[in-house]
Amino acid sequence: MTTSAPTSHHKIPFLDRDHSILAFNLRVLDWARRSEVPLLERLRYLCIVSSNLDEFFEVRAAPHLSAYQINEQRGPATASTYLAITERVKQLVAEQYAIYNNEVLPLLEKRGIKLVSYSERNPRQRRWVRDLFVREVQPLLVPVGLDPSHPFPQVANKSLNFIVRLSGRDAFGRENEIAIVKVPRVLARFFRMPSVKGSKQSHFVSISSVVRAHLSDLFPGRQVTEFAQFRVTRHSDLAVDEEEVKNLRTALRKGLQQRHYGQALRLEVSAGCSEFLSDFLLQQFELPPQALYRVHGPINLVRMTQLIDLVDAPALRFERYNPGWPVQLVPGQSFFDRLQQGDVLIHQPFESFDAVLAMLREAVHDPDVLAIKQTIYRTGSNSELMELLREAVRRGKEVTAVVELKARFDEEANINYAERLESVGAQVVYGVVGLKTHAKMMLITRREAGGLKRYAHLSTGNYNPGTARLYTDLSYLTADEALTHDLDQVFLHLASQNRLPKLNKVLIAPFHLHKAMIDAIESAAQQAAKGVPARIIVKMNALTDEPLARALTHASQQGVEIDLIVRGACILPAQLPGVSDRVRVRSVIGRFLEHSRVFYFRVGDHEALWLSSADWMNRNMLRRVELAWPVSDPALRQRIMDECLSAYLHDTRDAWLLQPDGQYVRAQAGTTAKGRAAAHHSAQVSLMQRYGSKG
């Protein structure tokens, strides 16, 4: 399936992947620091960092903690890697809460938006909070006193809880002093308080503050001597042995029930939590002291997004961006007619993803369309796409959906979608055993005068209208016979699991993609060694595959100029003397999440450009079904180079440059010919100005 790149005479000091992920979150956190960013958006970036850290612990932390607890190496994880990661995360969290407490909250208050704490509430506000507690909160709370017959309860992953210490005796005369109060997820996390007539101020109260104010009401006859909020993060990466299970869907449903109660990895408590209570919790969750995180604020900043949604202050948000209709398309024109003239590129979110839905909608309602095949990875909730596929079945079309049940944290939604599609008669398949189907493709077969004709949509991103407004991706529409024939063969392979025939244009992982990329890098290296100018530019979300990183390093040593635009984790050190002198790595963190994957190779006068669903990670290359397809149209290829590569290589506002030691520094704007500071350039802002709807 793969090959190894020639090794250099130098041992390559690859950067640590987990530390690179944490460094990415520092770059995201920088947006929360920027004074020019609207205030609620600064708060949103704090929430994004919290969400990213949650996923980091849920997916990446377990081997490190286990290695520390047993003091043995587990793969690359050791006791020392656990301590190093813990120290790095705690520094990041400290910076996060410093921005929250010292900058964002005071500035919000100046704008009349205030979270009113327990001690700040006036008598009228206290009465209102008490009424809210009695009416909506207390009926859903079940305090659990701990004793031999009531051991420590199961605490779900990332749920909000209180631990309470009590004096006195319970109803049976016992001195059990510890109780746990779970705060159900069905409760809103923030409530708008009634405003004073004529006041422009907006006051809010958090659910944790509401419960805190009335903890004593839950324990009549007892005195609450101390309490603290707490939250535990658990290992949540589902592991199902597909070779052993008879029904993957059923096995995943069972796994989803257990996900909320996986191995405990991190314990967050409010800063004022006593050592007695924190030690008790650490003991219950079988965690070392290093796993304790004391936070000066809400223990789950992710839920602050609910507060952002409650605030009516457009001036404190990004100005609404309305994507334009794709420039290569005419509203109302048949997609099938248009694709007879040539391929179409849609650059999301600068151009509207609605065009993709419009293409599917036309296919569903066109009586000449006989079949629709589509991969489903992440489509979001209440998906119009799913309803269109169901409608296609009702209209008598053959619908095949390759549903990836193991899309992390979307498993339940995809299981539900699969069942709904099957219920109306769609053919649903779950891909290849042991591999995730991450390729994004749709194939439409239509009866035309000359026979059957295929039309396709391929994408670097998901069929999700929500993320299509937030992620940069490339959609590619084509009627190219060789390309659509390849896609038909890939769908047949996924359904039948027969061997793939030789494909015309498409590269597919885990069979061809990895080797083809290494071969392309090595070919450039061989020509550069002969004095032929060679250039590689790759844009992707992550570079963590060692054979590919090794091949790039070798190519650099042979004279290939290499620019890597890597949003997140990158293990390849940039411009390390004698190792990667010609490798430059930059990360662009903007208003939209960079998500498109573009692979460009130029050797002498020959150019090749590929779009792909795959990052350069080992899992994408060897454990997933991924696609890469060539862009042969010179005009489209130049457009991609201009918008996705060149524009980002010249970004000086949102770009960060990787240093040889693994640190990132902000890109500088440079100076003008007159020695003045040049204006900053933002690739995303330029594209928004170019394609945004003026309506």
| pLDDT tens digits, 458-512 | 999 988 888 899 999 999 999 999 999 999 999 999 888 888 899 999 999 999 9
544 or 433: which leads in pLDDT: 544
Query: What kind of fold does domain 39-316 have according to CATH?
Result: polyphosphate kinase like (3.30.1840)
| Number of Cβ atoms within 10 Å of the Cβ of 184 | 12
Alpha-helical (H) ranges within 395-480 are 411-423
Domain boundary assignment for the chain: 39-316, 335-504, 509-691
Return the pLDDT at 3: 41
Residue range 633-637: mean pLDDT, rounded = 96
Is residue 67 scored above 80 in pLDDT?
yes
* Candidates 64, 203, 235, 438; catalytic one: 438
Domains 39-316 and 335-504 share a fold: no
Is residue 356 scored above 60 in pLDDT?
yes
- List, as residue ranges, the binding site for ATP: 52, 471, 567, 595
Give pLDDT tens digits for 272-282: 999 999 999 99
Write out the two tokens for 10: 């130098």
Is residue 335 scored above 80 in pLDDT?
yes
- List, as residue ranges, the binding site: 52, 378, 408, 471, 567, 595
171 or 505: which leads in pLDDT: 505
Is residue 611 scored above 60 in pLDDT?
yes
**Do 688 and 321 contact (CB within 8 A), yes or no?**
yes
Return the pLDDT at 112: 93
Name the band, by pLDDT with cuts 50, 70 and 90, for residue 410: low
106 to 208, 558, 681: CA distances (angstroms): 20, 55, 31
Architecture of domain 335-504: 2-Layer Sandwich (3.30)
Return the pLDDT at 424: 83
Active site residue 260: no
Architecture of domain 509-691: 2-Layer Sandwich (3.30)
104 to 119, 444, 539: CA distances (angstroms): 20, 49, 33
Residue range 113-127: mean pLDDT, rounded = 92
Return the pLDDT at 415: 73
Name the band, by pLDDT with cuts 50, 70 and 90, for residue 299: very high
Name the band, by pLDDT with cuts 50, 70 and 90, for residue 51: very high
14 to 26, 461, 511, 574, 662: CA distances (angstroms): 20, 28, 26, 10, 9
Return the pLDDT at 173: 61
Return the pLDDT at 255: 53
Is residue 642 scored above 50 in pLDDT?
yes
- On average, the pLDDT of the chain sits at 89
- List, as residue ranges, the binding site for Mg(2+): 378, 408
- Amino acid letter at 421? L
Coil vs helix vs strand at 77:
strand
Residue range 348-369: mean pLDDT, rounded = 96
Provide the percentage of residues in the chain whose pLDDT is more than 70: 89
Return the pLDDT at 145: 86
Return the pLDDT at 257: 55
Write out the two tokens for 528: 């550069």
Give pLDDT tens digits for 214-266: 999 999 888 899 999 999 999 986 554 444 444 554 544 555 455 567 899 99
Residue 428 forms beta bridges with which residues?
401
Is residue 40 scored above 70 in pLDDT?
yes
Return the pLDDT at 10: 55
Q: Which one of 4-18, 83-97, 386-400 scores highest in mean pLDDT?
A: 83-97
Residue range 170-185: mean pLDDT, rounded = 81
Coil vs helix vs strand at 408:
coil
Residue range 284-297: mean pLDDT, rounded = 96
Return the pLDDT at 198: 65
Task: Please tell me the distance from the alpha carbon of residue 164 to that of residue 180, in angstroms, as a whole number.
Answer: 6
